[in-house]
Amino acid sequence: MKISIFGLGYVGCVGMGCLAQSGHTIIGVDVAPEKVERINNGQATIVEKDIDDIIAKAHASKTIRATHDYKDAVHNTDISFLCVGTPSTDKGHLNLDYIYQTAKEIGEALAEKQSFHIVVIRSTVLPGTNNAISTIIEEVSKKKRNVDFAVVSNPEFLREGTAVADYMNPPLTVLGSACPQAIEIMKELYKNTNAPIEVVAIEVAEIIKYVNNSYHALKVVFGNEVGSICKEMGIDSHEVMRIFCMDKQLNISPYYFKPGFAYGGSCLPKDLKALNTLAHDLYIDSPVLNAIEDSNHKHLQKAIRLIEQTNKRKIGIMGLSFKAGTDDMRNSPIVNVIEVLSGKGLEVRIYDKNVALSRLIGKNKSVISEKLPHLNNMLQDSLSDVVEWAEVLIISNKENEFKTIPHNANQLVLDLVRIAELENHPQYVGLCW
């Protein structure tokens, strides 16, 4: 394919070399004369493993060149990659001036071009940018989006030092566009890449890089806080984290990465508090570890606010234990919610087939006596009775029987755990989705 790349910095230079290596013809565009000159001399614009040799070979085979002339680049290619910088402003916002200016230039070029053209956003941009760029190009070119041209969001996942290897072997390729034709062409472009291709909503493609990098930053800080605690105790922190990373079932896995309700149970709250207390006793500052419980509490408060905003008084709770298939109510977040609601005078009825007052012993019994002394008046034996009575149904764990609960169209369903089978209800509300 014939491809133009706008921006010959890190992402653009690596993309140019790797696409050329895959057999495509590339025209690079940049406002910096030295970058254009370097490419036209067969030299990379960055320092990165393997890229010098790749650019030199591509230049020798005449499959790459660079120019300042954006119209020349657009007119002689079918796909334009936007790889221009999106630096932060002093207040932390993105400066999108460069990418919007590039969109304007592409629009000017497309005004003089008849064939279909694809604009691919590789720069890291916030949700809404794809639409903004499409609007700019549409207004400047007088062409129609998804007919005469299309904009595809295609975030990059490159690490400096291994960028070439990452480009050729990414974890996945993400594509988001409102144009099926453009998606099919991009799938063809990436068909030999050793990675699954995920076609997603545009906004998902736009935000995923921010989620990735924020989590990577969190991992670094988490590891450093653990390291500081371990060092103070004379423990080998690298050995601790090596063992931590060996657990692919929970630690390094998708298991806990599903937006839902607040965490609870006996282990997470207790052990987090113990580690924070240990750090405090050792005079170790661990702000990330300290922030976890507060963030969890704020998420619980969000659920309470959503319930209160319904202005309904009859609240049916589906599930009392912190996890489906158990009767464990130790630190069950829904118990705290019920305590607040009943304290404000709302009527609450609860159904949980695993919880029976006659079987409560130990900590489970003390939780109820302290927080829900009137549970015997709230707990119901019949699921259908609670559903029929309630104005609002709160789904707080993933018992299988909750997938098919009978409910009427006038009844609000507030799902705290995401049960997909309920999402077609006309008054369904998810806690954070």
Residue 194 shares a structural domain with residue 223: no
Q: Is the residue at 285 inside a domain?
A: no
pLDDT of residue 377: 85
Phi-psi region of 63 (alpha: psi -120 to 50; beta: other; left: phi over 0): alpha
pLDDT of residue 63: 97
Residue 355 banded pLDDT, cuts 50, 70, 90: confident
Instruction: Examine the pLDDT at 3 and tell me if it is beyond 90.
Output: yes
Give CA–CA dist 363/264, Å, rounded. Answer: 14
Residue 118 shares a structural domain with residue 23: yes
Residue 126 shares a structural domain with residue 9: yes
- Average pLDDT in the chain: 93
Residue 250 shares a structural domain with residue 331: no
Q: Is the residue at 262 inside a domain?
A: no
Residues 128-155: tens digit of each pLDDT: 999 999 999 999 999 999 999 999 999 9
Residue 67 shares a structural domain with residue 90: yes
Q: What is the CATH number of the domain that holds 177?
A: 3.40.50.720
Average pLDDT over residues 226-254: 96
Instruction: Examine the pLDDT at 361 and tell me if it is beyond 70.
Output: no
Percent residues over pLDDT 70 in the chain: 97
pLDDT of residue 409: 76
Residues 272-285: tens digit of each pLDDT: 999 999 999 999 99
Residue 195 shares a structural domain with residue 242: no
Residue 196 shares a structural domain with residue 213: no
Q: Which residues are catalytic?
A: 267
pLDDT of residue 362: 62
pLDDT of residue 116: 98
pLDDT of residue 365: 66
pLDDT of residue 358: 56
Give CA–CA dist 304/20, Å, rounded. Answer: 55
Q: How many CB atoms lie within 10 A of CB 222?
A: 17
pLDDT of residue 122: 97
Q: Is the residue at 286 inside a domain?
A: no
pLDDT of residue 354: 86
Residues 281-312: tens digit of each pLDDT: 999 999 999 999 999 999 999 999 999 999 99
Percent residues over pLDDT 90 in the chain: 84
Residue 105 shares a structural domain with residue 77: yes
Q: Is the residue at 277 inside a domain?
A: no
Q: Is the residue at 279 inside a domain?
A: no
pLDDT of residue 266: 79
Q: How many CB atoms lie within 10 A of CB 432?
A: 11
Q: Is the residue at 365 inside a domain?
A: yes
Average pLDDT over residues 230-240: 97
Cross-strand partners of 174 = 198
pLDDT of residue 273: 94
Q: 211 is in which domain, residue-wise? A: 204-257
pLDDT of residue 375: 81
Residue 184 shares a structural domain with residue 224: no
Give CA–CA dist 385/378, Å, rounded. Answer: 12
Residue 237 shares a structural domain with residue 308: no
Residue 139 shares a structural domain with residue 245: no
pTM over 0.75: yes
CA atoms in the 13 A half-sphere facing the CB of 319: 27
Residues 45-79: tens digit of each pLDDT: 999 999 999 999 999 999 999 999 999 999 999 99
Residue 257 banded pLDDT, cuts 50, 70, 90: very high
pLDDT of residue 142: 97
Residue 193 shares a structural domain with residue 78: yes
Residues 174-217: tens digit of each pLDDT: 999 999 999 999 999 999 888 999 999 999 999 999 999 999 99
129-141 and 97-110 helices, crossing angle to 10°? 40
Residues 82-129: tens digit of each pLDDT: 999 988 887 878 889 999 999 999 999 999 999 999 999 999 999 999
Give CA–CA dist 278/375, Å, rounded. Answer: 36
Instruction: Examine the pLDDT at 324 and tell me if it is beyond 90.
Output: no
pLDDT of residue 332: 87
202-232 and 287-308 helices, crossing angle to 10°? 140
Q: Is the residue at 283 inside a domain?
A: no
**What distances in angstroms separate CA 238 from CA 183, 218, 224, 229, 358, one per listed residue?**
43, 17, 10, 12, 48
Counting the structural domains of the chain, the total is: 3
